[in-house]
A and B are shown apart, each in its own frame.
Chain A
Amino acid sequence: MSEEKFPINIWINEDRYAKLSKAGLGDLCEEMLAGLKVLRVYADAAQRDKILKLFPTAKFDSATTKSIELLPKDVKDKIFDTIVEKESVDIMAAFLAKF
């Protein structure tokens, strides 16, 4: 059985979409809410717990979407920038290693 993964939803506006497209990652966006684009970065259970501990405003939406929400904007921006820089969404371990 594969390990359960928990998404962090990076919501994509036009500016973010342009940067993703330039990095060749535009196709990774999904339409999640009435056409709103989202890029999902996944954390495993241990990473999820570390994120919730590191950023107390963050919340695990256990009831509806099983996603990690309400990370501070600057943290989301850093995650997004790391994705663009590494041209990959598999960045969570590297991102958390900085903390």
Chain B
Amino acid sequence: MELGHGRKPIVERIMEPAEAKEKIKNLVQIPIRSQIANEVIGISYGFFSPLQGFMGKADVDSVCKKMRLADGTVWSIPILFDLTAEEIAKLGLKPGMSVLLTFNGNPMAIMEISEIFDYDKKEMCKAVYGTDEAKHPGCARTYAYADKFLAGNITLVNRPKINAPYDPYFIPPLEMRKRFAERGWKRVVAHQTRNVPHTGHEWLMKGAWFQTYAELPIDKPYVGVLVNAIIGAKRKGDYIDEAIILTQDELRKSGYFGDHNHLTSLTFWDMRYAGPREAVFHAALRTNLGLTHHMYGRDHAGVGTYYGAYDAHNLLATVKDELDIVPVYSMNWLFCPHCGEITSEGLCNHKSEWQKFSGTVVRSIVVDGVKPPRLIYRPEVFDVMMECGEKYGFGSPFVTDDYLEKRIPVFEIPPMK
């Protein structure tokens, strides 16, 4: 038995096709949008263990007020299924019913409705995001929810077909743990990303690898870095998903890492930008994936100026004894012309000569059509990024209106045979 977050067993809630075909007959159907489909996958494959379905009011209230599920397990972000009162009335939904969730017209999952409830969205925003401002993207998402929430366990009845080029990178928790065991890794550190990596990111990973390695013997490779890219809703100007996943893997393919210490994967999740609370959510998610350590830099999963640089670290510290993943805190990496190398602000003392760079600055160089130096951007990574722009991004490695409208879906739910 594999134990996940909260030391609860990881269970895949997936029904075999023959049984599923019978079970879904005559069920009321509810079409779902991509966010909910992402979360159905998260629940049914165990990414969100110990959740077995969408949350009820007791869990939501406890998550908001205590950052715990009703049973006391640390959990930071409500996982909600929303519908309007009109839809609920029209479909005749009530607790005790099983319904079929469909995505793009095809059967995806059975939901056993246990509760229909409402919740004060403003209070939810204050608790989760520390603000109720509608311009915060997490609050905006919350305010966009319909007025009623349905709770209930989820069982996947039709596995998603992950489209190229993403398919090799969808590695659910039970499979991920096998991959780690095959590689002989005793410790694995998570790198959370939504970026094409510049060398600052590369060194965040390398630094975290050193920190994680610590006292382990060096006769064999015992420590790996898992890049776990968050794939979900996109905003204009973001890197396109194909570029993110393929350039992260390019670091391994081009030898900056190797098979012995690096693996790239993805998780379907629409970022909430909840900063500290999202950091705690990431700890649960990556615990379920079998990781032992998790890298956290400045302003983890933050947005704008809502959170302090180290708020996430401070919140993690309050629950550290209940998490089965060790936070690895990372200082910034920068270029020092005196040293002639990428170095950590915690190491180098040529402070007046430091050349700091952020993801935003590097993106601005790329937007200008200028190829950054190899010490800032690996040429192989740059080339893959630009190829992705041509092949998948309608000429740009950044999200455009065309990409939002016509992109290749990351996954589809196929018709049931």
Contact = CB atoms under 8 A, between A and B. Distances in A.
B368 A57 contact: no
Given A34-B355, A57-B236, A69 B360 contact: yes
B355 A32 contact: yes
Given A33-B373, A34-B335, 15 more contacts: A9-B364, A10-B368, A11-B364, A13-B369, A31-B337, A33-B361, A33-B372, A33-B376, A34-B337, A36-B365, A36-B372, A61-B361, A64-B361, A69-B361, A73-B369
Nearest to A59: B360
Among A12, A33, A76, chain B packs the most CB atoms within 10 A around the CB of: A33
5 contacts: A34-B355, A34-B375, A57-B236, A65-B356, A76-B367
Contacts of B203: none
Contacts of B237: 57, 70
Q: Interface size class for chain B?
A: 20 to 34
Contacts of B361: 9, 33, 61, 64-65, 67, 69
B370 interface: yes
B163 interface: no
A77 to B, nearest CB: 9
A32 B353 CA distance: 10
Contact of B370 (A11, A34, A57, A62): A11
B237 to A, nearest CB: 5
B352 interface: no
A63 B370 contact: no
Given A62-B305, A63-B298, A63-B299, A35 B364 contact: no
A13 B370 contact: yes
Contacts of B376: 33-34, 36
B300 interface: no
Interface string A1-36: 000000001111100000000000000000111111
Contacts of B372: 33-34, 36
Interface in A25-84: 31-36, 57, 59, 61-65, 67, 69-73, 76
A33 B357 contact: yes
Interface string B96-134: 000000000000000000000000000000000000000
Interface of B: 236-237, 298-299, 305, 335, 337, 355-358, 360-361, 363-365, 367-373, 375-376
A71 B361 CA distance: 11
B364 A70 contact: yes
Contacts of A35: 373
B358 A64 contact: yes
Contact of B367 (A12, A31, A70): A70
Contacts of A63: 298-299, 358
A12 B356 CA distance: 18
Nearest to B200: A64
Contacts of A31: 337
A61 to B, nearest CB: 5
Contact of A61 (B337, B358, B373): B358
B350 to A, nearest CB: 14
A12 B335 CA distance: 18
Given A36-B372, A63-B299, A11 B365 contact: yes
B38 to A, nearest CB: 26
B119 to A, nearest CB: 33
Nearest to A38: B365
7 A-B pairs with least C-beta separation: A64-B358, A69-B364, A34-B375, A11-B370, A34-B373, A11-B368, A61-B360
